[in-house]
Structure 1
């Protein structure tokens, strides 16, 4: 029987690896997701039976847990709108870390918090990282959903606090492992410390930096899954954790590059270290507006058009209207591309997911470098709900907290049209001088309503 289980685990591992590989391309991502889910499903079946050959009295509790979790997962996945997908990712990621932390707690309880140096180091590290991933993800969820405001999470000298807490945590892990045991009181205090660090780690992070922290927390959860796999001798959990942890680190580094951050800055919560001068956030100039009919004429007679999607498109659920506009313009002989910033939206790949939902062809999506080359020879660039990723302050204003961040340089485009509900600042909380530039015009309204108006005018031309 054990040999059969090992064979099934091997097949599960292959399915998981192939599935994750297919996720690297939108055209194969759907099948990849199904293969990975099948692999994990087989792994769950093995995990249920493998360790319980002499403990079949636990099947009832496992069945109840699977039933409750399955119902919650299905209902949540069906009900969540695409605009709330980043929050859902944070939530599920947090529960993954919480599960790993619980595995460590159970190990310590079953072993009376006694073990050799290596065992205790591994278990306590997993406990710490698990709770950091859990509470950090919960704070990220609160920020993304708007339930937690930055003013509610202000921590004086946050970077120093985070460094001190991390040093204390590492010191306690080393001390307890050296002693070979820890009391119940010590375990409770260490758990509380881990929970607090998860909060203080994410609390200072500004809204514009959330894609980076989500990626990092996802990596932490993968690492805890891998460690839990070692603790429970679950090969599939070990493999899956290594894949998620390593890919999460790679993605974090890519996000850091896209945000002009360093990994050290990420690890110590130093995301928004740059402060703006009191008057640096004030932008003055004359706003020029455009009507939907005038924009439709301009688009119809253009040779090249770029669409720059942002979180405003997600909020308005305007991606399918964008696709309809694309179809009409292509029929009129207009070349159209989507210029995507790596951190547009609230999580890595957010805009790509939305556009894929609207059946936008992947070959029309350009990355940051390709986008800026394309924008330089574009007649009209339509900014659909994006703000910070097109803010020229990142290039021109050394006092701006996004200074140095690579942006979509729409200033190279002949004409820029911004679809925006109001002149409110973006998620980073800073003003955007782009709106006052000579080549920029504004179309104020909900992104979906604006695009529907443009679509109607294009049909009448």
Structure 2
């Protein structure tokens, strides 16, 4: 058993590693090293915590750690990159549910301690946490109760919200915004009832108040995320990431665990900042995201004139062979088709022919922030030709050919031209300003988001139908 001094020193070291990990993830070239910082930091955190003072029950602890490690290893090997967003959402739900269970357990231990004090007796089988609670003064126990309420509420909202986000990302739940009759009034009513239950609990009401509080928070999490459209899931995932961090911090305060507080605060604050960046990229109000009040249409969409004109691989190859500058815009369709390697091969062939090739990446492309950057890095696309929307948007007007691979909303001119569009006001990549635009798409449907795209009907646009990977592999031999 290690002393508290060793555990505290390990917590500081783990916290530094987590900070270095987050800092390194801001740069693609440093990302691999940053991930290792996080891995080592978590190993230090778990190991030294398990060996710290007051920790026992290794007969339960060790098997649970091994089972969890086994499940994690299995998922890491099995889950495809296209399934990573829903996996992240699922992991957020675990953090939220853990916060609820820990908070319930903390209150039960608090009640045991108070019962022992009232009976003027001595508890012979104090748990490590109960022993900690027994040392607290009455005002400190009040703060513990506040921490319990926050842990339950944030954790429960995170749990059901993440479960619904997982369902929408995995296609198991309808991606359209759905709310029960009453809409936001139901959420507001549930929040007010939650506050009433919290006040009752703080004034001595029974454990039943915490059960009802959790049920109300479960409903709020469910109803909030059900009210958000599937096209807005990247923002939702980053928001739930923030919620899971604050839930972890609440657990840390309850357990007097400094490392959980620091880690939760890091995750919570970074998730909140990322949510703000995502909202800015989609021209959304941050408060509306928190309240689940966006993702639906604003009125009847403008009618689209013209028709979608198809083109074959030969026509696309001819345009590419004549072009001097090419911009590729990837979206979730590239991930679904696992076409990143074929895209990388196309880039190498075009660059070998002396053409300028770059990528335009929208902040919310894919279903997870940074989704496209990760896929392109996996395919070994050079980092220096992968540019963000603000860096490349002014260059489309002077570009010969743009190839859009599986994108819809992020290249949709309706965002700027149709005030009734569900994505009205959202900054988009202005691909239609290029001389020629080729859209690689499976078929004529609206895709996952269900939003029609006028780009597909423009005179300088051609539809390159088919599976993205197969289409690109057909195209590659035709490039000079």
Counterpart residue number, 1:139: 164
Offset, 1:273: 5.0
Q: Are 1:442 and 2:460 counterparts?
A: no
Separation of aligned partners in 2, 1:274 and 1:287: 24
TM-score, normalisation: structure 2 = 0.91
Is this contact kept in 2: 1:206–1:271, CA < 8 A?
Answer: yes
Q: 2:173 aligns with which of 145, 148, 161?
A: 148
Question: Any residues of structure 2 matched to 1:43-122 within 5 Å, and which?
Answer: 43-52=45-54, 56=56, 58-112=57-111, 116-122=141-147
Is this contact kept in 1: 2:200–2:209, CA < 8 A?
Answer: no
Counterpart residue number, 2:472: 451
Counterpart residue number, 2:31: 29
Q: 1:226 aligns with which of 241, 245, 249?
A: 249
SS in 2 for 1:376: helix
Q: Deviations over 1:19-75 (max 9, x none)?
A: 2211111111111111111011111012112143xx53x011111110111111110
> CA 1:222/1:137 → structure 2, altered by over 3 Å: closer, same or farther?
same
In the alignment, structure 2 segments of 5+ residues that lack a partner are 115-137
Offset, 1:184: 2.9
Separation of aligned partners in 1, 2:244 and 2:271: 9
Counterpart residue number, 2:312: 291
Question: Any residues of structure 2 matched to 1:137-216 within 5 Å, and which?
Answer: 137-150=162-175, 153-177=178-202, 179=203, 181-216=204-239
TM-score, normalisation: structure 1 = 0.94
Q: 1:385 aligns with which of 381, 403, 406?
A: 406
Offset, 1:82: 0.8
Is this contact kept in 2: 1:307–1:336, CA < 8 A?
Answer: yes
SS in 2 for 1:249: helix
Separation of aligned partners in 2, 1:433 and 1:273: 18
Offset, 1:451: 0.7
**For structure 1, which segment, 303-312 or 150-159, has the greater mean C-alpha deviation from structure 2 after superposition?**
150-159
Separation of aligned partners in 1, 2:225 and 2:312: 42
**For structure 1, which segment, 288-297 or 127-136, has the greater mean C-alpha deviation from structure 2 after superposition?**
288-297
Cα RMSD after superposing both structures: 1.7
> CA 1:73/1:129 → structure 2, altered by over 3 Å: closer, same or farther?
same
Q: 2:267 aligns with which of 244, 261, 274?
A: 244
Counterpart residue number, 2:240: 217
Q: Deviations over 1:275-300 (max 9, x none)?
A: 332xx265341222221112112112
**For structure 1, which segment, 18-27 or 309-318, has the greater mean C-alpha deviation from structure 2 after superposition?**
18-27
Counterpart residue number, 1:254: 277
| Number of equivalenced pairs | 452
Say which one has the larger Rg. Answer: 2
Counterpart residue number, 1:401: 422
**For structure 1, which segment, 117-126 or 198-207, has the greater mean C-alpha deviation from structure 2 after superposition?**
117-126
SS in 1 for 2:51: helix
Q: 2:152 aligns with which of 127, 132, 136?
A: 127
SS in 2 for 1:111: helix
**For structure 1, which segment, 307-316 or 366-375, has the greater mean C-alpha deviation from structure 2 after superposition?**
366-375
> CA 1:182/1:457 → structure 2, altered by over 3 Å: closer, same or farther?
farther
Q: Are 1:9 and 2:20 counterparts?
A: no
Offset, 1:449: 0.9
Q: Which runs of 4+ in 1 moved over 6 A?
A: none
Offset, 1:238: 1.3
Q: 2:395 aligns with which of 374, 380, 401?
A: 374
SS in 1 for 2:52: helix
Offset, 1:381: 0.5
In the alignment, structure 1 segments of 5+ residues that lack a partner are none
Offset, 1:112: 2.3
Separation of aligned partners in 1, 2:99 and 2:53: 18
Separation of aligned partners in 1, 2:63 and 2:393: 53
Offset, 1:418: 0.3
Is this contact kept in 2: 1:125–1:173, CA < 8 A?
Answer: no
